[in-house]
């Protein structure tokens, strides 16, 4: 039987390092393909629909959209650039036939570019290289193109993949050209390149249905929605189908509604066929990696293996003295149900029960992966406490191995020494050093994932905010030995109450404070970082002794330095192994695991004896 070619469709994914302009480019393509009415108000980065994505300017979840160009439909999948969301990238590449590899005209290929391109080349996808931000005054288009070619060769691209077309683009201005000397007013050259170079989907139209589920969405009215590309045959509304599970099991279900994508909307259709990217509702227990198939001939499509988690944390019910005051969902049942729900769509995540019914071990692809989940839960009204991130060790051939990250640092030359010194202590091994571009040096290291925990904020301080660091999972290597924890101790509240200026003034002589006057505190809560290596208990609730000679009002004369506000990521990086982060919808606090001061000291004394 002859293969059928759907020449009216192109399926592409946009892959790139974080912040190289993927989502802005999709905006331009949507606007220029006439998806929006002329008077319609359109947000910037219209594809980043989730609040966290908008705030941070990053893409977390892959998104589907489609544009029409001269009668042909281009399905576009916008993918995340962060290594922590690599699970998302790997899955969605199974839906497409080609990739737009987007690269910043100044920065060139970055660690994440390498990661996503490697995955795309392994799947034999056709690449189109788009050099973006050509309007930058410091662009270095020719050098960047050479770097891209080197990266393709290094990753083992075949001859066909090395013959990639190149488009020069400014997503911000909405222009594209095939030659830097050309004039251009729109993205037409980019659309033409996609149509001419990305293969149209092909396969067997009249054979039994096969569709791999690569993304799950949900909607309060219709429940779970399975999204994927039809690899073979046709699918119809109200059709009976077989669901092939990942363990080889088969069950039956019915397609209640069928949608295709048009712009940012889903359009209900009665039928779709080979090559279409569709969304299917009505199958309540469908999971990522399962195949929707013909009931008479249920054949599964092999699913891409997802990289294993490298970091784990303990999520537990909040048991601090302030527990239950600020959150809506506070019990272990709430926590368990929410984590189990997350597993349905977050394929790189693992959740394991622990000895305690109030605690769960949650493993993910990195600190950002887990902190995004914690922040999302906090905004949904959950209250919980989390431990310091720990790396996941593996035993390979009887030897203990640990996850290694490939770290790329761009830093002004003057800060090179301090960065190399700090990374040396963290067991980093330098792999490469590239001479300065505009006064910046690029340093590349292999470093244990443990060594990166807590380093980002130190790095920003050391480089006075001028350094850029990116890292990506490299592989497992034999464990590298001890890495020192935080070098400074914590200032710990001595009693429960409300922080006052007098108490804080005395405490700030011992270090840097995280709280200001009027902040409710409890015994064992961390209120600052100590200037020395040991923890110090401070009484921030202590009021000035009032006598005839001294008026209580003279507190105003005491000058407090501004407290340091800590974000969730900074708190996770800061805490030591005997500390926790308490997360509620209104506050993020740090605390000791053992709140009682005397019990804590007894514990430390017995530890020292044991040594």
Q: List the binding residues for GTP.
A: 19-24, 132-135
Tell me if 165 sits within 8 A of 191, measured CB to CB. no
Tell me if 327 sits within 8 A of 585, measured CB to CB. yes
| DSSP line for 475-535 | EEEE--------SS-EEEE-SSEE--HHHHHHHHTTEEES--TT-EE-TTEEEEEESSSS-
| DSSP line for 209-234 | PEEEEEEEEEETTTEEEEEEEEEESE
- Taken in order 411, 414, 415, 420, the sign of the CA dihedral is positive
Known binding-site residues equal 19-24, 132-135
Burial of 41 (0-12, 13-18, 19+ CB in 10 A): exposed
Tell me if 580 sits within 8 A of 524, measured CB to CB. no
Q: What is the largest CA-CA distance in the chain?
A: 102
Exposure string of 367-383, with b = 16+ CB inside 10 Å and e = fewer, is: bbbbbbbbbbbbeeebb
HEC letters along 376-440: HHHHCCECEEEECCEECCEEECCEEEEEEEEEEEEEEHHHHHHHHHHHHHCCCEEEEEEEEECCE
Which candidate, 269, 272, 274, 261, places its Cα nearest to that of 217? 261
Query: Under 8 Å CB-to-CB from 282, ≥6 apart: which residues?
Result: 222, 223, 253, 254, 255, 256, 257
Kindly report the CA angle at 379 between 373 and 382, in degrees rounded to 5? Answer: 80
For 240, the enclosing helix (H) or strand (E) is: strand 240-244
Residue 605: strand, helix, or coil: helix
> CB count, 10 Å around CB of 268?
11
Cα 340 from chain centroid (whole Å): 19
Tell me if 113 sits within 8 A of 84, measured CB to CB. no
Tell me if 406 sits within 8 A of 120, measured CB to CB. no
Q: Please give the Cα distance from 269 to 261 (Å, whole number).
A: 10
β-pairing, 525-530 vs 4-5, is unpaired
> In Å, how far are 264, 299, 367 from 286, measured between CA atoms?
24, 16, 28
Q: How far apart are the first and last CA of the chain?
A: 74
Q: Please give the Cα distance from 459 to 466 (Å, whole number).
A: 9
> CB count, 10 Å around CB of 136?
15
Which candidate, 175, 123, 591, 157, places its Cα nearest to that of 388? 591
Query: Under 8 Å CB-to-CB from 602, ≥6 apart: which residues?
Result: none
Which candidate, 85, 16, 81, 58, places its Cα nearest to that of 365? 85
Q: Please give the Cα distance from 446 to 423 (Å, whole number).
A: 10
Tell me if 544 sits within 8 A of 501, measured CB to CB. no
């Amino acid at each position: 039987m002859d293969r059928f070619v759907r020449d009216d469709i192109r399926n592409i994914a946009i892959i790139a390092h974080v912040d190289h302009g993927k989502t802005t480019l999709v905006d331009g393509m949507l606007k220029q393909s006439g998806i929006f009415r002329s008077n319609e108000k359109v947000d910037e980065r219209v594809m980043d629909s989730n609040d966290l994505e908008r705030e941070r300017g990053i893409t977390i979840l892959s998104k589907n959209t489609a544009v029409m160009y001269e009668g042909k439909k281009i399905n576009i999948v916008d993918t995340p650039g962060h290594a922590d969301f690599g699970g998302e990238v790997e899955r969605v590449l199974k839906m497409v036939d080609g990739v737009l590899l987007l690269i910043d005209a100044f920065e060139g290929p970055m660690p994440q570019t390498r990661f996503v391109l490697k995955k795309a080349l392994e799947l034999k996808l056709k690449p189109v290289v788009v050099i973006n931000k050509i309007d930058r005054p410091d662009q270095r288009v020719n050098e960047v193109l050479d770097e891209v070619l080197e990266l393709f060769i290094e990753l083992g691209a075949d001859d066909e993949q090395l013959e990639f077309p190149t488009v020069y683009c400014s997503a911000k201005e909405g222009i594209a050209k095939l030659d830097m000397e050309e004039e251009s007013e729109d993205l037409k050259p980019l659309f033409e390149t996609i149509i001419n170079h990305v293969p149209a989907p092909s396969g067997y139209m009249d054979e039994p249905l096969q569709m791999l589920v690569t993304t799950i969405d949900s909607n309060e009215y219709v429940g779970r929605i399975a999204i994927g590309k039809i690899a073979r045959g046709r699918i119809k509304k109200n059709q009976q189908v077989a669901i092939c599970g990942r363990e080889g099991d088969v069950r039956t279900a019915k397609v209640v509604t069928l949608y295709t994508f048009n712009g940012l909307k889903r359009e209900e259709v009665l039928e779709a066929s080979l090559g279409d990217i569709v969304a299917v509702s009505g199958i309540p227990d469908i999971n990522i990696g399962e195949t929707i198939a013909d009931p008479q001939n249920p054949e599964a499509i092999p699913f891409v293996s997802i990289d294993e988690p490298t970091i784990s944390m303990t999520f537990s019910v909040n048991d601090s003295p302030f527990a239950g005051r600020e959150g809506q969902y506070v019990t272990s049942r709430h926590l368990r149900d929410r984590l189990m729900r997350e597993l349905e769509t977050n394929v790189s995540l693992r959740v394991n029960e622990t000895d305690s019914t109030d605690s769960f071990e949650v493993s993910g692809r990195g600190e950002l992966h887990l902190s995004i989940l914690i922040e999302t839960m906090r905004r949904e009204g959950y209250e919980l406490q989390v431990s310091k991130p720990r790396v996941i060790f593996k035993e390979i051939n009887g030897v203990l191995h640990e996850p290694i990250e490939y770290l790329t640092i761009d830093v002004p030359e003057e800060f090179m020494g301090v960065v190399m010194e700090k990374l040396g202590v963290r067991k980093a091994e330098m792999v490469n050093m590239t001479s300065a571009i505009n006064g910046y040096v690029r340093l590349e290291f292999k470093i244990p994932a443990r060594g990166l925990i807590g380093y980002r904020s130190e790095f920003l301080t050391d480089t006075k905010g001028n350094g850029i660091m990116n890292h990506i999972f490299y592989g497992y290597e034999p464990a590298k030995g001890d890495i020192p924890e935080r070098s400074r101790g914590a200032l710990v509240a001595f009693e429960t109450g409300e922080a006052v200026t007098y108490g804080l003034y005395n405490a700030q002589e011992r270090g840097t404070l995280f709280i200001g006057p009027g902040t409710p505190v409890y015994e064992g809560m961390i209120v600052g970082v100590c200037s020395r290596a040991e923890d110090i208990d401070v009484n921030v609730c202590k009021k000035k002794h009032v006598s005839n000679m001294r008026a209580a009002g003279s507190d105003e004369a005491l000058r407090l330095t501004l407290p340091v506000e800590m974000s969730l990521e900074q708190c996770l990086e800061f805490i030591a192994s005997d500390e926790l982060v308490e997360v509620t919808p209104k506050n993020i606090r740090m605390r000791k695991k053992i709140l009682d001061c005397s019990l804590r000291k007894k514990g430390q004394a017995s530890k020292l004896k044991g040594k």
